[in-house]
Amino acid sequence: MASINSVEWRSICDKFTNAQRLTETESRNDPENDPFRSKYKARELLREVYCSLKSFEAGDGEEDAGGENCEQRPPDQPVDGQTEDAFSQGFSGDSPAGMRAAKLGAVEYYLGVNHVDTEELSAGQEHLMNCMKMLEKCRASSENVSLFIHVRNQLGILWAGRDETETAQGFLESAESIYQRYMKEDGRPPTDMTEYFTTEENLLTHQERTKRLFELAYTHTMYYLAQVYKNLGENERAATYCHSTLQRQLQLNQFSPMEWALNAATLSQYYITKGRYMEGRHCLAAATVISGLAGEVPSEAAAQESETESERREQLQQKRAEIARCWIKYCLNLLQDAKKLLEDNIGELDTDRQDELKRARRQEEEEEEKGRKSALLFGSEDTFDSIASVEEKVMCLFPLDFTEARTVFLVGQNYVTQAKEYFQMDGYVTDHIEILQDHSSLFRALAFFEEDLERRCKMHKRRVDMLEPICNDLNSRYYLLIRRQLMFELAETYNEMMDLKLTLANRQADNHSLDGHTIKKFNHLCSASAKYFQMFLDSLCSPEGKPPEHLEEEVLRPALVARFRVARLHSKLISSSPPVQLENLNRALENYKYVVQYCEAHPEAPAAVETELELSTEMVGLLPLKINRLKSRMAANN
Amino acid sequence: IMSKNKSSESVKVVVRCRPLSRKEESNGPAGGIVQMDLRLGQVILRNPRAPPSEPQKTFTFDAVYDSSSKQRDLYDESVRPLIDSVLAGFNGTIFAYGQTGTGKTYTMQGLWLDPEKQGVIPNAFDHIFTHISRSQSDKQYLVRASYLEIYLEEIRDLLDPNHGNTRGLELRESPETGVYVQDLTSCVCKSIKEIEEVMNVGNQARAVGATDMNEHSSRSHALFLITVECSQPGPDGRKHIRVGRLNLVDLAGSERQAKTGVQGDRLKEAAKINLSLSALGNVISALADGRSSHVPYRDSKLTRLLQDSLGGNAKTVMVATLGPAPQHYDETLTTLRYANRAKNIQNQPRVNEDPKDALLREFQKEIARLRAQLNHRRFRSKQKKEQVDGEAWERDGDEEEEEVEEEEVEKEAEEFVKLEEQRLEKENEAIREDQFLLAEEKQKLLGENEKMMGNLRKRQEATEQLTARYKAMESKLLVGGKNIIDHTNEQQKMLEMKRQEIAEQTRREREMQQQMLIQDEEAVELRETFTSLQQEVEAKTKKLKKLYAKLQCTKAEIKDVNDEHVRSRQELEQTQNELTRELKFKYLIIENFIPPEEKNKIMNRLMFDPDEDEWKFKPLVPDERLVPLIFHHF
C-alpha cells in the first residue's frame, strides 16, 4: 500500500472530505431549481476518489473485481447471503487486501447514498450492491463492521421505499445479527468509514466518537426494523423494536429527555391495550423519571419575563400533563380489566372467582419477578433505581379486592389532578372533559369493588357531580358528540344509583312497603335518568324536533338502548295516583313500540340490540293488558 | 335512497380548469387533456400516454368551469348562494384546492382592478356590503375580518404589524364557542374599501415574511375570515342576533399536501421509512392507536381550525383547480380523485342564533351606555342654561330616544356654550372698563371669570370626546340606507336579479340532468317484469354490456395505478442511465485535464453531524481529555 503521507493519498483524502462537506452542508443551500447541485458535485468527487483508489493501488497486483463489472446479479433479486459467512470467510479486515476492499466498498457506499439522495434509486442500489460485493471478500472486523451495518441500513431504506418490505426486512435483520455477533465475538470500538480517508494521526483520538457513530447506526437499524414490522402489520415486534430503540437512546445518552419520556409514555399505551401491564408500567415509570431530567418548570414570574422561559414552561407543563394522562389510562385499564375478570353474568363481584384468583396470586408474583428479569429494561446506572421506585408505587397485577383497587384508584386520581392543572376547561375543553370522563370511569370501576352499597352509591354521586355541570354548560353547536356521551353516561349513572337505592331499601324493609322518603328519592333518580336518556334522544332530532327516520350506525345502538331504558324507567316510576300511573305506562309502551317498530323497518337494527328487542317485544305484548286492567280499575273506582 | 337527515348536506364541489398557457401550447400539438361537459357537470380526463382504446375517466361534480368560463359565472352559480347563507347566519367555507400554478389564487382573488376578473373574495366583499346597504333599517350589522396563514404548523396573524417577530398563535377551545385562535386580530370593517384595505395589509405581511413568494405561498395555507353579525327585532320584540362566519381558504399547493398534511394527515405514505429518529414518536403513536388509551397526538392546526367545515356545522364549497397540459396528467388525476372524495363529506349547517360571543351585543350595550352618559351631561348643561336664561323651557320626557331631537339638543348645547362664552367675555370687558373698581378687585373678578371659562371649555371638551366615541362606535354598526348606501340604480338591480335567476336556473338544470342520468341507470335495473323471454334476454344483455363497460373502467383504473408506478420507475432508470453515461464522459475529461485543487484547511475541519443538526469542529490538537466533553453533546 502506498504511503499514508504520499501526495496522492493526501489528494484522495481531500477529495473525500470535500465530497462529505458538499453532501452534508453545502447541499442545504442549493437553489430550488437546481436542488441537487452540491450532491452532483460530491458525486463527481467520489468518482474521482474511486478511480484514484483503484489506480493508486493497482500495483498491488490483486485481481480487480469491483466497480464496473457488476452485472452478474440481476438487481431485482438482491440477496443478502453473507450473514453467516461474514465472520468466517474472506480477507481479514486489517490485511492490505481487506483494507483495500473496505475502502473501495466505502466509496461505493457513499456513491450509493448519493444516488439515492438524488432520487436515482436504481443506480444507488447498484452502488450499494457493489459495496456489498466488496465486503463479501472480507471478514467482519473492527475495521469494516461499521460499513457492514451502514450499507444494510441503506439497502433496507431503499427497498422499503419501493414497497418491498420483505426485502428491506432481510437487509435490516442481517445488519442486526452482524452487530450482535460482532459485539459478542469482538466488541472492540470499530473504525468509522469516514476514517478510511483521514491522515493516520487523527485515528486514535476519534475512537470514542466512532464507537458512538457505530452504536448510533445500530440504533437506526432497530428503528428501521420497527417501521418495517409496523408496515408488515407485526405490531408486537414493532413495539419491541421501538422499545429497543428507546432503550439504546437512553443507554448511549443520545436523547432529549422530554421527547424520550413522551415516546416511552406513548409506548406504554400500546402495552396496556395488550394487557401487558408490567411493560406498560415500566415505560411509564421511566417516562416519569426521564421527564424529570428536563428540569424544573420555570415559575410564572420567570415565564413573564422571557419568551424562551415561557415557551419552556408551556412545553414542560404540557408534556408532563400528557404523561399523567397516560398514567390515568394505565390505572383505569388495570381496574377495568380486573373488573372484567371478576364479574359474574349480572355484573356483580364473583367471590368464588375472587378466591380462586387470590390463590393463584402467589404464583403470578413469582412469574412477575421472572418476567422482570427477562424483560427489556430501561435505565442507565443512575436512573435505574429511581425508575424502580416509581414502579413500586402502583401494582401491575390485577387488583383483586377493594383495598388493592383503592390504591390503584388513588394513584389514578392523583394523576387526574395533575393533568387537569394544565388541561383546564378554559382553553382545552376536549382534553379537560376526556380527563373528567376518565375520572368518572375510575370511580365506576372502583365502585364495583366496594361492598357497602351506601358508599357505592356515593361514588356514583361523585360522578354525577363532576359531569352534570359540564354537560349543561357545553355548547351543543360545537360539542354535540361530547355532550351526547355525557348525557348517556349521566343517564346510566342515575340508573345505577336508582338500582342501588332500591336494593338498599328492599334490604332494610323486608316487606315491599317503602317509606315516603325512599319513594321520593327513588322517583327522583328514576326521572333524572329518564331525563338524560331523553335529552340524548332529543339531540338526535332534526332542528324541527323530529326524530331521524334512519339512525346512523354509530348511534344506532345507543339510541335504541336509550329508548328501551326510557320505557323501563317509566314503568318503574312509583305513584299512587292511577292517572299518573296510566300516563307513565303509556309512555313506556310508546317507547317499547318504537324499538320494535324501528327494528321491523330496518333489517340491520335487530342484530345491534338483541336482548333489548326481545324484552321490548314481550313488553309490547304485556303492557296493554296491564294498562287495560288499570283502566278498568279506574273506571270501577269512579 | 337518500337516508340522511334533511338537516345534512354534502360539500359542494366544483372544478375549474385554466386555459393552456402559451408555453404549453408550443410544447406540442397534443392539446389539453381535460374535457368538460358544462351542462352535465362532468370532467372527462384523457390519459395522454394511454392508447386511444382505453376508456377515458369521467367525474361528475356540482358544477364545472372550463377555460372560457368567467369569474362572474363561477361566483353567481356556485358561491353566491353560500354567501347568502352566511348573511342569513350560517357558517360558510370556500376552499381552493389544486396544484400550484392551476389558478387557485386567480380564482380566489383574481385581478382586483378589472371588474370582470375579480375573484371570489372581492366579489364576496361586494356582495356582503351591497346586501347590507339594501337591508331594512331595523337591521343592524357588524362586519369583522381576520387574516391568518398556517405555515409549517405555525399560525401567523397577518393583521398584526409585529407578526414577524412574535411566536405563532395558539389554538384554544372554549366551552361556548369551540375552537378559536388565541389573540387573533380582528378588524371591524365599515365598507368595501375598509375590508379591501385589511386584505391588502395582510397580503403585504404575507409577502414580507417570505423570501420566495411562490415557494412560500405554495407551502402555506391562507385563511381570510369574515364574521357578519346581524341584529333584528324578532316577533317577541327583542333584538335577536345571527352570526354568519365565512372562511375563505387558499390551500397550499396540492403537490405539497403530503408534506403539509391537510388530508387528515394520517394519510400515510405507504411503506416509506422515516429516517430521522425525531419521528420515533409517530411510529409509536401508530402502534398505540386505540380506543382505551391516550395517545399524545395533535391533529394538524388546519384540520382543527376547519373541523366545522368538513363534516360539521357549515356549508362548504370546494373549488378544485386543474391544469389542462398533458404533463400534468398525474397531478390532475390526483386532484380530481380528491375532489371526488370530498363530495361525500356531510355537513350539518345550522343558523347561529344569539351566540354568547356576539360582539354586536357588546357594541349595542356600549353604545347605550355612552348615549346615557351623553344625555346626562346635556341634561345638566341644559339645566344650567335654564338657570342662566331664567327662561321657562318645556322639556320633553323622552328626549333620549329620538335621534332628530338629539341633534337639536346637540346644537342647543353648542349654542349655549357660545352664548355663555360671549356673556363671560362681555362681563370681562365690563369689569375692565369699570373704573370704579379697585385694580385688585378687578383682577380677582377677572380671574374668577377666567376660571369659569376654563371649566366651561373642559366640560365642552369632555362632551365632545364622549360624542366622538359614541359616534365612532355607532358608525361601526351598519344600517342599510343610513350609514351605508347603495349606489346602484333600479335598472342595475333588475339586471343583477335576472342574472342571479339565470344562474339559479342553470344550477337546477344541471342537477336535474345529473338526476336523470342516475335514474336512467336505475330504471334499467327496475324493469324486471318481462313480457317474453326474448325481452328478458335483451334487457339482460343490455345490462350486462353496461356492467361490463363499468368493469372495464374499474380494471383500467387499477391497471393505471399500477402502471403509474412502473412507468415512473422506468423513466427514472432511463434518465439515470443517460446521466451516468454523460457523467462518465465528464469524469474522463476531468480526470485527464484538470489538476486536483488545493483545499481550504478550515473547511476540512468542519464536520456536520446529521443527527444533531449541528456543526462540529474536529479538534485541532488531538487531546484525549477533550474528547468526552465533545461527545457529551451527542
All structural domains of chain B? 9-353 (3.40.850.10), 576-622 (no CATH)
Neighbours of A535 (CB within 10 A): 19
Exposure letters B178-187 (e unless 16+ CB within 10 A, then b): bbbbeebbbb
Report the pLDDT value the prediction gives residue A265, as an integer from 0 to 100.
95
Higher pLDDT, B614 or A64: B614
pLDDT at B569 over 80: yes
Residues of chain A positioned with their CB less than 8 A from the CB of B586 = 44
Q: Given CB atoms, is B570 within the 8 Å cutoff of chain A? A: no
pLDDT at B578 (0 to 100):
87
Question: Which distant-in-sequence residues (6+ apart) come within 8 Å of B475 by Cβ?
Answer: B190, B483
Q: Which of A101-115, A188-202, A459-473 has the lowest mean pLDDT?
A: A188-202
Report CB contact under 8 Å: A44, B583.
Answer: yes
| Residues facing B149 on adjacent strands | B156, B222
Whether the pLDDT of residue B198 is over 80: the answer is yes
Nearest CB to A475; choose among B177, B212, B295:
B177
pLDDT tens-place string over residues B253-290: 766 443 333 333 333 333 466 777 777 887 888 887 66
Residues of B with Cβ-Cβ distance to A473 under 8 angstroms: 175-176
Question: Which residue is closest to B623 within chain A, CA to CA?
Answer: A205
List chain A domain ranges: 85-196+204-254, 256-297+306-351+379-439, 452-509+521-542, 558-637
Least confident of A219-223, A226-230, B74-78, B160-164: B160-164
Q: What percent of chain B has pLDDT over 90?
A: 13
Would the CB atoms of A238 and B622 count as touching at under 8 Å?
Answer: no
Is the CB of B313 less than 8 angstroms away from the CB of A478? yes
pLDDT at A302 exceeding the cut of 60: yes
Lowest-pLDDT choice from A38-52, A449-463, B111-125, B157-171: B157-171
Least confident of A32-46, A554-568, A620-634: A32-46
Q: What is the pLDDT of residue A297?
A: 85
> What integer pLDDT is reported at residue B622 of this predicted model?
54
Q: What is the pLDDT of residues A382-435, one digit of tens each?
A: 788 888 889 999 999 999 999 999 999 999 999 999 999 999 999 999 999 999
Check residue B528 and give its pLDDT.
60
What is the tens place of the pLDDT at every residue in A115-143? 988 888 889 999 999 999 988 888 888 88
Distances, alpha carbon A203 to alpha carbons A16, A197, A211, B619, in Å: 16, 10, 12, 12
Q: Which residues of B are annotated as a binding site for ATP?
A: 98-105
Q: Note the pLDDT tens digit of each residue in A363-387.
A: 878 777 777 666 777 876 778 888 8
Beta bridge partners of B567: none
Contact with chain B for residue A21, Cβ under 8 A: yes
Average pLDDT taken over every residue of chain B:
78
pLDDT, tens digit, 9 for 90 and up, residues B88-147:
999 999 988 888 888 888 899 888 888 888 999 999 999 999 999 888 888 889 999 999
CB-nearest to A24 from B178, B599, B608 is: B608
Q: What is the mean pLDDT of chain A?
A: 87
Three-class SS string for B124-143? HHHHHHHHHHCCCCCCEEEE
Work out the minimum CA distance from B462 to partner chain A, whole angstroms: 37
B571 touching A, CB under 8 A?
A: no
Pick from B173, B596, B627: which is nearest to A428 by CB?
B173
**Per-residue pLDDT at A589:** 95
Give the residue, A378 or A262, on which the prediction is more confident.
A262
Q: Give the closest of A245, A307, A548 to B280, CB-based.
A: A245
What is the torsion angle, in degrees rounded to the nearest 10, for the CA atoms of residue A387, residue A393, residue A394 and residue A397? 80
Beta pairing partners, B241 = B231
pLDDT at B404: 53
Cell matching residue A551: 339512525
Residue in B79, B58, B62 with CA at minimum distance from that of residue B12:
B62
Q: Which residue of B has its CA nearest to A116?
A: B576
> Is A307 in the B-facing interface, judged by CB distances under 8 Å?
yes
Q: Which amino acid is at A578?
A: P
pLDDT in tens, A18-34: 998 888 888 888 776 77
For residue A479, the chain B residues in CB contact (below 8 A) are: 175, 178
Residue B520 DSSP symbol: H
**DSSP calls for A168-183:** HHHHHHHHHHHHHHHH
Q: Do B572 and A120 touch (CB under 8 A)?
A: yes
Please, which pLDDT band fits residue B410 given cuts at 50, 70 and 90? low
- For A216, the closest of B3, B182, B611 (CB atoms) is B611
For the segment B69-84, the average pLDDT, to the nearest whole number, is 91
- Give me the amino acid identity at A603: P
pLDDT of A42 reads 92
pLDDT beyond 90 at B209: no
pLDDT of residue B420: 79
User: Alpha-carbon distance B544 to B538, whole Å?
Assistant: 10
| C-beta separation of B94 from B247 below 8 A | yes
pLDDT at B262: 34
In angstroms, the CA B122 to CA B108 distance is 8
Q: Which CATH class is domain A85-196+204-254?
A: mainly alpha
- Dihedral in degrees, nearest 10, Cα atoms A150, A153, A157, A160: 160
In the predicted model, is pLDDT for residue A605 greater than 60? yes
Contact A473 B630 (CB under 8 A): no
Query: Average pLDDT of A84-88?
Result: 67
CA distances from B332 to B64, B193, B562 (A): 14, 37, 17
For A88-104, the pLDDT digits (tens) are 767 777 778 888 888 89
Q: Chain centroid to CA A537: how far?
A: 34
> Which residues numbered 229-268 in A keep a CB inside 8 Å of some CB on B?
230-231, 235, 238-239, 242, 245-246, 249, 252-254, 259, 262-263, 265-267
Average pLDDT over residues B504-511: 86
CB B12 within 8 A of CB B62: yes
Portion of chain B with pLDDT greater than 70, in percent: 78
Handedness of CA A493, A494, A498, A500 (dihedral sign): positive
Average pLDDT for B333-356: 82
Contact B296/A168, CB-based, under 8 Å? Answer: no
pLDDT at residue B536, rounded to an integer: 77
pLDDT at B271: 46
Partner-chain contact A205 B7, CB within 8 Å: no
Per-residue pLDDT, B328: 80
CB neighbours of B405 closer than 8 A, spacing ≥ 6? B396, B399
Task: Answer whether residue B68 shows pLDDT above 90.
Answer: no
Q: Cβ of B595 under 8 Å from any chain A Cβ? A: no
- Residue A253 in contact with residue B634, Cβ under 8 Å? yes
Q: Which residue of A has its CA nearest to B570?
A: A122
Give chain A positions within 8 Å (CB) of B268: none
| Of A150-159, A502-511, A541-550, highest mean pLDDT | A150-159
- Asked if the C-beta of B602 comes within 8 angstroms of chain A's C-beta atoms, the answer is no
pLDDT of residue B393: 45
Q: What's the Cα-to-Cα distance from A20 to each of A17, A207, B219, rounded to whole Å?
A: 5, 20, 30
Check residue A30 and give its pLDDT: 79
C-beta of residue A151 within 8 angstroms of C-beta of residue A125: no
Tell me whether strands B12-17 and B63-65 are parallel, antiparallel or unpaired: parallel
Q: What is the pLDDT of residue B254?
A: 67
Categorize the per-residue pLDDT at A500 as very low, low, confident or very high, splitting at 50, 70 and 90. Answer: very high
- Work out the pLDDT band at A455, boundaries 50, 70, 90: very high
- By the 10 Å C-beta count (0-12 exposed, 13-18 middle, 19+ buried), A543 is classed as exposed
